[in-house]
Amino acid sequence: MLKIPERLIYSLCATFSLSLAIFFKKKALLSEVLPFALLVQFMVISAIVLSLNLFLIQRKHVKKIQKISQSHWLFLFLAGTFLLTAYLLTTFGLEFTTSINYSFLSRSSLIFTSILAFFFLKEKMNLEKLLLIFGFFVGIYLVTTKGKTIIPQIGDLLILTGAFFFASFAVIQKKISLHLPPEIISWGVTSTAAILAVLTGIILKVNLFQTVGFLFIFLAGLTEALIILFMNKTIQVANVTYYAMMTMLLPILNGFLGIIFLNEFLTFIQIIGGGILIICGILVQKLKSENQSLA
């Protein structure tokens, strides 16, 4: 009987949840929800969902919270801070660039993740990985830009910086994945980001309690919680570069959702790009799983 690897199941669940989260965020924005208000609300909802999961469903892990070392609390705080910073930079960056640039540049987190994992997690970098990364970016370029030339915009730097913080967020979580279960890491990181988001909203005098588009905000928060949880489950059994590669399949899922619910369509060049992404997604399963022992 064919056994499906855990890393494949978890990474696909995270990628599918990410696709749904983007879809629900789009629907919320179309309902005239302000971007920053959306960010604060879905982060708070995610934190609540992961708290309920930890304290009601996964109660066996609650006792481990008291045993978390000061250094691991610091890592959780840094990861949560990096997560919120990444969202803030990419949200404001989108205001100063095109959606094509945003879609492509936001995927540069794969490059940053690979570099950071090489230096800080001692993950191996070989020709096979480099070719797969190149293949993923060719596919991403064709799907997100339809083969058009990217014209640099002032917001591109913000998006690239945000992608760097997303990569840093993933690497830090991997750093502590050998010491804490995914449920605690997800709860700690998301709760930190939510608290900081609320404080930032209060300082900026943002209306945090608007009810416009709340259904889509709630669904975005729910799927965001699933992303963080399944991401941590993935990087506990695989390296972060593998996870970053698997999330490159995201445009394919977004494309299907866009066709079905948003009346969008795919061009021939995008279909070619999607085919390249699928092939790379299959080939990445042949990479050997690395179990880092670095704390």
250 close to 103: Cβ distance less than 8 angstroms: no
Residue-level pLDDT at 228:
96
SS3 state at 179: coil
Residue-level pLDDT at 291:
46
Contacts of 145 (CB under 8 A, 6+ apart): 100, 103, 104
Q: What is the pTM of this model?
A: 0.85
Tokens of 249: 């399949």
Tokens of 40: 């604060």
pLDDT along the chain (295 residues), means of 10: 82 91 83 86 95 94 92 96 92 70 74 88 82 82 72 76 93 93 96 95 80 89 96 93 84 72 72 83 66 38
14 close to 231: Cβ distance less than 8 angstroms: yes
Q: Report helix, strand and coil shares of the chain as percent, to nearest 5.
A: 80, 0, 20
- What secondary structure, in 3-state letters, does 106-155 show? HHHHHHHHHHHHHHHCCCCCCHHHHHHHHHHHHHHHHHHHCCCCCCCCCC
Residue-level pLDDT at 223:
96
Which uninterrupted H or E stretch holds 172?
helix 156-176
Residue-level pLDDT at 187:
97
